[in-house]
Amino acid sequence: MMVSAPRSAVVPHAVLIAGIVLVLFPLFVAFVAACDTLPDILSAPMSLVPGPHFFHNLAEALLAGTAKTSGQPVWSMMLNSLVMALAIAAGKIAISVPSAYAVVFFRFPLRRPCFWAIFVTLMLPVEVRILPTYKITADLHLINTYAGLTLPLIASATATLLFRQFFLTIPDELVEAAKIDGAGPWRFLVDTVIPLSKTNIAALFVILFIYGWNQYLWPLLVTDTPSMTTIVIGMRQMIGNGDTQTEWQLIMATALLAILPPVAVVVLMQRWFVKGLVETEK
């Protein structure tokens, strides 16, 4: 290995740098556009040297939005996205830890059917049952509410399966020790199982946060008032249908704002992220 390392390292570095350029180039162009004025962008081809208007555009998007979003400022869209992402992540974990605990640590009638009922939800993402799910959400008067935005996306079994797998690895001796010490199922859950699951919960939270933040089809259907718009949907509205001037400098500033939170989560919490991603798929 040590003999061949200096010679063979050139090609890998070249390929990896090419990969990085491919990843960063669209982001860089978005950044440049967010630094320009609209006439700068429209004088095609735009210059690839960033202009001086970055903070001005950022502030305008954050505080005022665009005419096409009915003047809905991006900060409120980000708040909606944050609430949605946190509610989906926390909600999925809050319902899946108890249900996984129930199917692993108890023997009760209908245990298998319950497990399969949860398990089968893995197979049908919300995208394939959009219309009936929309109808039910409307019947329950949940259109334009955070509950309507998040509950249908919480109904999926990925988290339950992950916790089930993990709970099965908890040694029987721990359960026996808890029983001898007189701890009931609630005590065992709170004092032993949840503390042991901390890293799994953190990893899953990171994945679910990104999943929630990036939702598109469901928020598009279930919200139609400006005050409930999420940032990913807000960008779509800013682009519009080309009827009036498209304010690209604000759209790209908004794109950067939409990308920042989930990318920051991936970069700063990379260890949890990688663990969560690799384990939820097994």
Partner 1 sequence: MERRVTFGGWVCPALLLLPQMAVTLVFFFWPAAQAIEQSLLRGDAFGLTTHFAGFQNFSLLFNDPDYLASFGVTAVFSFSVAVLALAPGLLLAVMADRVVRGAAVYKTVLLMPYAIAPAIAGVLWMFLFNPSIGVMAASLRWLGIDWNYLLNAPQALLLVILAAAWKQVSYNFLFFLAGLQAIPASLIEASAIDGATPRRRFWTIVFPLLAPISFFLLVVNIVYAFFDTFGVIHNVTQGGPEQATEILVYKVWYDGIVGLDLGGSAAQSVVLMTIVIVLTAVQFRFIERRVHYA
Of 166, 255, 276, 280, the residue at the interface with partner 1 (CB under 8 A) is 255
Of 35, 221, 222, 253, the residue at the interface with partner 1 (CB under 8 A) is 221
Of 78, 210, 250, 253, the residue at the interface with partner 1 (CB under 8 A) is 210
Residues 34-53 that bind partner 1 (CB under 8 A): 41-42, 44-46, 48
Q: Is 199 in the site for partner 1 (CB under 8 A)?
A: no
Indicate the SS3 state at residue 71.
coil
Nearest to 200 by CA among 208, 188, 212: 208
d(CA 122, CA 192): 28
Residues 52-91 that bind partner 1 (CB under 8 A): none
Of 77, 79, 94, 181, the residue at the interface with partner 1 (CB under 8 A) is 94
d(CA 47, CA 180): 73
Shortest Cβ distance from residue 89 to partner 1 (Å)?
14
Q: Is 267 in the site for partner 1 (CB under 8 A)?
A: yes
Q: How many residues bind partner 1 (CB under 8 A)?
A: 107
d(CA 165, CA 101): 11
Tokens standing for residue 109:
């009638």
Shortest Cβ distance from residue 197 to partner 1 (Å)?
15
Asked if 118 and 99 count as a contact pair (C-beta separation under 8 A), the reply is yes
Q: Show the beta-strand stretches assigned E in 1-88.
A: none
The torsion angle over the Cα atoms of residues 5, 9, 10 and 13, rounded to 10 degrees, is -170
d(CA 225, CA 80): 12
Tokens standing for residue 111:
């245990």
The interface region with partner 1, picked from 56-64, 68-76, 192-200, 256-264 by CB under 8 A, is: 256-264
d(CA 84, CA 273): 19
Tokens standing for residue 221:
């259907």
Tokens standing for residue 159:
């988290």
d(CA 100, CA 160): 5
Shortest Cβ distance from residue 99 to partner 1 (Å)?
4
Shortest Cβ distance from residue 202 to partner 1 (Å)?
16
Asked if 219 and 233 count as a contact pair (C-beta separation under 8 A), the reply is yes
Nearest to 257 by CA among 235, 224, 281, 227: 235
Of 39, 52, 123, 243, the residue at the interface with partner 1 (CB under 8 A) is 123
The interface region with partner 1, picked from 58-66, 70-78, 194-202, 217-225 by CB under 8 A, is: 217-225
Q: Is 277 in the site for partner 1 (CB under 8 A)?
A: yes
Residues 135-194 that bind partner 1 (CB under 8 A): 135-137, 140, 151-152, 154-156, 160, 168, 172, 175-176, 179, 184-186, 188
Of 82, 90, 202, 220, the residue at the interface with partner 1 (CB under 8 A) is 220
Q: Is 122 in the site for partner 1 (CB under 8 A)?
A: yes
Tokens standing for residue 22:
């491919």
Q: Is 5 in the site for partner 1 (CB under 8 A)?
A: yes
